[in-house]
Structures are given as structure tokens and as C-alpha cells.
Amino acid sequence: MTAGRGDLIAVGGLARHLPVLRAEILAALSPRQGGIYLDATFGAGGDSQAILSTPGTKVLALDRDPTAIATGEELARASGGRLTLERARFTDLEEAARSQGIAAFDGIVFDIGVSSMQLDEAARGFSFRRDGPLDMRMEREGKSAADLVDGADEAELADILYYFGEERAARRIAKAIVAERARAPIASTARLAELIARVAPGKPGAIHPATRSFQALRIVVNDELGELVGGLVGAERMLKEGGCLAVVTFHSLEDRIVKQFFTTRSGRGEAASRLLPGEPAKPAATFSLSGRQPIEPSQAEIESNPRARSAKLRVGIRTAAPPRPADPALLGLARLPQPKRRR
């Protein structure tokens, strides 16, 4: 995720084109001459440029947004063949790498979330700061946020807003949406934001009342958490022994998934115990973790780039252990909880 013009940092706002935690990411990756790296979230190219500042490095950069790929073509041409761009989702990273003849990476970086270019363009419908169609599709295809708002029933809408937006007024907002759409479809960002502000007004000085709801809709429209889980598992398979995986998140849902992935993969926090007779041995750790995590931005960075204040960086180093499939518990964090059956 890279930031755009302005100085607002809410999900619906704007920010400056400044990569977050750049120095910390570079320190973790420690790019070396001849190394091959994956920037799984190209955006405006900040992380790719930082890696390419080390002579002799090569970067494969992915983005699911065709606009990001198009705007990065000039940088790719200027790289002298060291930067390759591919339009792909996180879950496609293995296929994208192999299509370029890459068997493994020396380092992989994820900068999770929506990019500033998407926020800046009203027609994309990510931001409520400027009125536009209620879209939010990173790939500009498939079901839009307007389709979701118009088609989901009240209970599903409430669950989406509560679990993926951590919105306490989820039921009230969902009820209001259903009542409002009965009069006319909710097709614009301004109309939805105004509706939410009317039924669940925020406190003075707090974030805009629509921020959490917009986050929730965007996550569902783009399956962001499911893609994150798939990307982490794919990164584990594509890293060389000793390779670094660095992941920057900006809200608790993302960070919870990344934290649990690294915790289970490293065995950190597990007490040593003897196995019972017939009990299978625990799988070997696929990542080693060092130092205190998460790594957070310095006060100086927050002051120069307020958007950095919620950023968290987690880092793992790949071991020689064979990769594992996605844990069911991890997949569960990316989905709505299943309703309990009545007995």
C-alpha cells in the first residue's frame, strides 16, 4: 500500500505517496546483489524502488489492479530489465513467478490494503471523501460494493460490517441500508456515507462514521483476507531457505492473520512437551522469528507521514522445513463465522 496526495488517513481519505516502514523493511530483507525479490503489492512502486536501489537486484512486482500495472510500466522500462510487472492476485504468486522462470525468492514483501491511487480516483468508489459510484473493485471486474449493498440480506450485511469492519453499530446500519434501498438502490459513495453518518453519528474528533463500514465492504468485495492467507502460504512455498518474508498491515484483522501465521509456523510461544505414545510429532518450524514484533513506525515517521501510525511490520526467516498447507483456523479468520445450528 502506498499513499496519495493530501493528509487524511482514514479508509475513506487520502495520504501522501510515502512508503511506510521503508527502512525497517529494507533492514529485514537485506537485499543483496544478484538477489531475486517479490513485491506482492506494487501499488506506486515504493517498495520495488527501495529494493532496486541495491545494485544487481531483480524484482517481480505483482498487483491485481490493472491501473497500478499500467502506471508502473515506465519504472519497469527504466530498470533495465531488473523490474518485471505482472497483474496477479496474492493467490497467483506462485504461477506468476514460474511464468517468469523463478523457482524461489530471496525475499518477499507484502504491503497490505488499498492504495492511494485507488482512494484518489472518485470513479473507483473506494473513498467517501469524493462522491463516486459505489464500486471498490480492485480489478474492475466482478461484483461491486453496490451489488453487495443492494443484494445481501440484513443479517449478512450486519455480519459483514461487524466482523470485517469491527463496527459496533452494524445492526443499526444494516437495517437502515435495507430500508433505504427499498426506496432506491444505493449506488454512490456519498449516499451510503451520509446514510451511515445519519443513523450512527460519530463523536467529535473521531474518524468518519462510515470508515469502518467502507473497510468491511471493500474487504468482502475483494476477498482481501482470503487472498492474504493464500499469499502467505504461497510465500512460504516460494522462499529460499534463509529468505525473508516481510508483511506490513494497517488494521487489526490483517495483523491478526499475519501474527497467527508466523506464530504457528515458528512454534513461538509453544511449551516444549513430550509426545504421548502414538501421538504424531509436530511439524518442523517453517519460519524463525527474531526480536520484538510487531515492528512499528518511529514517532518521527508518524509525524512526517501520519498514515503510518497504524502500520505494523512482522518478519519471518524461512527455514529448511517443508511448507505446510493453510491451517483451518487461519482460513477461519478470513471468513464470516458460520451461524450456530439450533438443536
Average of per-residue pLDDT across 156-183: 97
Q: Specify whether the CB–CB gap between 79 and 10 falls below 8 A.
A: no
pLDDT classification of 140: cutoffs 50, 70, 90: confident
Pairwise CA distance, residues 125 & 118, whole Å: 8
Q: Is residue 154 part of a domain?
A: yes
What is the arithmetic mean of pLDDT over 172-200? 96
CA distance 295 to 316: 12
Residue 294 and residue 201 in one domain? no
- Is 16 within the bounds of a domain? no
* CB distance 218 to 114 below 8 Å: yes
Instruction: Classify residue 298: in a domain, yes or no.
Output: yes
Q: Based on the domain organization, do 326 and 245 belong to the same domain?
A: yes
CA distance 230 to 234: 6
The reply to whether 294 and 178 lie within a common domain is no
CA distance 117 to 71: 10
pLDDT digits (tens, 9 = 90+) for 60-100: 999 999 989 999 999 999 999 999 999 999 999 999 999 99
Identify whether residues 214 and 231 lie together within a single domain.
no
Same domain, 236 and 214: no
Indicate whether 128 belongs to any domain. no
The answer to whether residues 182 and 44 belong to one domain is: no
User: Are residues 236 and 215 both part of a single domain?
Assistant: no
Q: What is the 3-state secondary structure (H, E, C) of 253-294?
A: HHHHHHHHHHHHHHCCCCCCCCCCCCCCCCCCCCEECCCCCC
CATH number of the domain at 200, please: 1.10.150.170
Mean pLDDT in residue range 27-32: 97
User: DSSP class of residue 185?
Assistant: -
213 and 243 both lie in a single domain: no
Q: How many domains does the chain have?
A: 2
Mean pLDDT calculated for residue range 18-45: 94
Task: Say if residue 174 is in the same domain as residue 197.
Answer: yes
The pTM for the full model equals 0.88
Grid cell listed for 124: 473507483
Greater pLDDT, 114 or 75: 75
What sign results for the dihedral spanned by CA atoms 285, 233, 311, 3?
A: positive
Is 236 a residue whose pLDDT tops 50? yes
State the pLDDT at residue 205. 83
pLDDT at 5: 28
Residues 177 and 106 reside in one and the same domain: no
Q: Is residue 17 part of a domain?
A: no
Mean pLDDT throughout 239-260? 97
The CATH number covering residue 302 comes to: 3.40.50.150
Q: Is residue 165 part of a domain?
A: yes
The better pLDDT of the pair 177, 273 is held by 177
Q: Residue 306 — pLDDT band, cuts 50, 70, 90?
A: confident
Same domain, 112 and 228: yes
Other beta carbons less than 10 A from residue 70's beta carbon: 12
pLDDT value at 101 more than 80: yes
Tell me the torsion sign for CA atoms 100, 104, 109, 114.
positive
Nearest-angstrom CA–CA distance, 254 and 83: 27
The predicted structure's pLDDT at residue 340: 60
98: in domain: yes
Which domain covers residue 228, as residue numbers? 22-116+224-268+283-332
> Which three-class secondary structure state does DSSP give residue 92?
helix
Angle (deg, nearest 10), helices 189-199 and 170-183: 130
**To the nearest whole number, what is the mean pLDDT of the chain?**
88
Considering the domain architecture, whether residues 29 and 79 belong to the same structural domain is answered as yes
292 located within any domain: yes
Query: Residues 281-294: pLDDT tens digits?
Result: 788 999 999 899 99
